[in-house]
Structure 1
Amino acid sequence: MPLVVPGIMTNSGGDKTEEWTNKLVGKKLSDEPSNETTFCKTELPQQTRVVEPGMMVTKDHVPDRLNVHLKEDGTVSHVSHANHTPRNPPSLTASPKQKLKSSIQRSLRNSLLTTYPLLTPYIDEILPKKASLDQVKLPDRVSLFVIEGRPLFFQQDNNGVLVPHLRLVHRFPQAFPTVRIDRGAIRFVLSGATLMAPGLTSKGGRLPVPTERAGEPVAEGVPNEGVDEDGHWSRELEKGEPVVVMAEGKEEACAVGVLVAGTKEVKEKGKGPVIEEAHFLGDGLWNLGLE
C-alpha cells in the first residue's frame, strides 16, 4: 500500500498554493471527514509534509510538495510549495566546524546513551575520550556533531532529541529502534514525505512486536530490547521517540525520523501520519561535505 494517500495537483504553482491556502488555513487536520473546522488527512495530496511548531525539517527541494504549517493549537497557519526544479543536487549551507568543550562533549555522550542505551558497548568507538567532537551549525537552528569529518548525530535548538546521522546508523544498525515500510512507500520516503500508517501496517511493513522481557536490563544501563528473528523491534515506541526507517527488500536504513504517533496507536488506528522525517538518503545532510 502507498505511504500516503494519493492526490493529484494539476494547477500551476501559485494557483496550487492559493487553492490549498483556501482549503486549509484556519482548520485542523483530522482523521474524520472534512467539515467547516477540520480537514481530513486522507484528502491531502500525495506529496505532503506537515510541519509542526519547532519541528526539525530538511531543506531539500521536492518539486510540488505541499508543506502544511501548523500553529501551537494545531490549526493550519499557512501552506507553501516547492515548484521549480533545481539545477543542482540538494545542498545545505554549513558553518565552519567549532570544537566543543570537554564538558559539553560529556553531556552529549550521556544524552546519547540515555536516548540509545544499546550504543553502550560501542560508545568508546563512536566518541573516543581523547577525540575532539566538533559542532557544525546548519539552517533552522540545527547542530550537526562530527568527529574527524564523520557525521554522528544532530540536534535542533541545542536541547532537542539527538537524532543519529544515517552514516552512524549504517555502522551500528542493531543499536537503534526501527520500523519498516513496504516497497510502495520507498519513493515517498526518499522525497521527504511524511510517513503515513498504511506504509507501515501493510503486509510489507513492520511495526514492533513487544516481548515479555522487553526493557528489563541485561546489563547496567542496557535494556533487554532489540530486533527479533523476524526483524520486529521488541517494544512499542512512544510518540516523540526517534526511529530508524528500514525498507522492504533493502538491507540498510533509508531514513531517520521522529514519531508523531506511538506504534501501539498506529496499530489500533491504521491511518494518519506516523513519522516526520528529519533525514533521508540523498538529502542535503547526507550529501553535506565535511572535509
Structure 2
Amino acid sequence: MFKKLSLKGSSNTNNQIKSSLQRNIKNSILAQYPKLKDIEEDVFPKKVPIVQVKCQNHINLVLINNEVLFFNEREGPYYPTLRFLHKYPNILPHVQVDKGAIKFVLQGANIMCRGLTSPGAKMEVDLPVDAIVAVMAEGKDHASAIGVMKMSTNDIRTINNDIGINNIHYLGDSLYMSPNLE
C-alpha cells in the first residue's frame, strides 16, 4: 500500500478536523481495538487535536502530536502504524512467519500460507477472514508487518496454498520511514 507513497508533496489536505469528526474517528478506533480502552488517555490525550491528512490513492492518515498513529483507505477500517504497534504490541493478534518468509515480507510481499504453516511459524489464535493482524518474524521481538487475513486460520491450515495474509504496512515502507509529517 505504501511502497510508492511519497508523503512529501503527496498530501492534498492537512487539516485539523471538527470536534465531531474527531470524536467519530476516536470512537471508531476504540471500537475496532477494544484493548486501547485502558490506554485511551495516552493515545488520545485531551486538549490535543486530531489531524487528518488526506493523501493520494484515498489514504487518510490520523495524526496526534504530529505523529502518524493510524491510517485507513477510503472509508475502510483503521490500521495502526508499525511504530504505534511497537509501543503497544498487544492491541492486535499475532501470527508468526518462518525465517524463509522474512525477506519477502520486508519487501512488501503478501504472506503465503506455506510461510504460516511451516516449522518456525505460529498461528495460535483462530482468526476469521478480514481480521487485522501483526505479522511477527521468527526469532524477532517486534512486528515486521501489519496485514489483513485473506483466509481464516483454519483454512490456512487445511488448504495450505495461495495467499493467507495481505501485507498492508511493513518495516521499510514509506509510511514507516517518515513517522512525522512536517
Does TM-score exceed 0.5, indicating one fold?
Answer: yes
Paired position in structure 1 for 2:46 = 129
Give unmatched runs, 5+ long, in structure 2.
none
Paired position in structure 1 for 2:90 = 174
Partner Cα separation in structure 2 for residue 59 and residue 185 of structure 1:
18
Following TM superposition, by how much is the alpha carbon of 1:59 offset from its aligned partner in structure 2, in angstroms?
Answer: 3.5
Q: How does 1:161-240 map to 2 (within 5 A)?
A: 161-209=77-125, 236-240=126-130
Runs of 4+ more than 4 Å apart: none
Paired position in structure 2 for 1:146 = 63
Partner Cα separation in structure 2 for residue 251 and residue 284 of structure 1:
22
Structure scoring higher RCO (CA < 8 A, sep ≥ 6) equals: 2
1:261 is matched with which residue: 151, 156, 160?
151
SS at match of 2:143: coil
Identity of aligned residues (%): 39
Instruction: Verify: 1:252 aligned to 2:142, yes or no.
Output: yes
Partner Cα separation in structure 1 for residue 145 and residue 15 of structure 2:
27
The one-letter amino acid of 1:184's match is: G
The one-letter amino acid of 2:73's match is: Q
The structure with the larger Rg is: 1
SS at match of 1:137: strand
Contact 2:3–2:108 (CA under 8 A) maintained in structure 1: no
1:145-188 CA-to-partner distances (Å, cap 9, x unmatched) read 0111111110111x201111111101100121111111111100
Q: How does 1:85-164 map to 2 (within 5 A)?
A: 91-92=6-7, 93-157=10-74, 159-164=75-80
Give unmatched runs, 5+ long, in structure 1.
1-56, 61-89, 210-235
Contact 2:12–2:56 (CA under 8 A) maintained in structure 1: no
User: Across the two proteins, how many residue pairs are aligned to each other?
Assistant: 179
Contact 1:136–1:143 (CA under 8 A) maintained in structure 2: yes
TM-score by length of 2: 0.92
Following TM superposition, by how much is the alpha carbon of 1:118 offset from its aligned partner in structure 2, in angstroms?
Answer: 1.1
Partner Cα separation in structure 2 for residue 165 and residue 276 of structure 1:
15
The one-letter amino acid of 1:244's match is: A
Following TM superposition, by how much is the alpha carbon of 1:96 offset from its aligned partner in structure 2, in angstroms?
Answer: 4.8
Paired position in structure 1 for 2:181 = 290
Paired position in structure 2 for 1:59 = 3
TM-score by length of 1: 0.59
Partner Cα separation in structure 2 for residue 278 and residue 270 of structure 1:
21
